[in-house]
Amino acid sequence: MPFSLGPPIGAGLSGYVAEMGSAFLCAALGIMPTVRHADYLASWLEVLREDNRAIFRAASAASKAADWLLTRHREVREREVARGEGRQAA
């Protein structure tokens, strides 16, 4: 796995990173989320206030994870198109 949620972020913020990454992916793919990302992310404000760099580490990890997933998504789509299996975009 090319990224890690090891000690700099810690297990406690892994849910925050995942939620932020999900929001990034929805935005990048044009998906209207059915969950309330903003409400969940706001629930972490007190924790983030205790460590003023945590949000930057979390955003960086979320961005790296989203970029990795988007790259894999593009690779699969390109292989599908090359094989003539790609679906028309809506």
What range defines the domain where residue 39 resides? 11-82
70 in any annotated domain: yes
How far is residue 59 from each of residues 24, 37, 78, measured CA to CA in Å? Answer: 10, 14, 28
- Nearest Cα residue to 82 out of 90, 74, 29, 28: 74
59 in any annotated domain: yes
88 in any annotated domain: no
Average pLDDT for runs of 10 along the chain of length 90: 45 79 92 79 77 86 95 92 68
24 in any annotated domain: yes
Element (H, E) at 38: helix 37-42
When divided into structural domains, the chain yields a total of 1
17 in any annotated domain: yes
Residue 76 structure tokens: 């699969």
pTM: 0.67
Residue 47 CB burial class (10 angstroms; 0-12, 13-18, ≥19): middle
2 in any annotated domain: no
89 in any annotated domain: no
Per-residue pLDDT at 8: 46
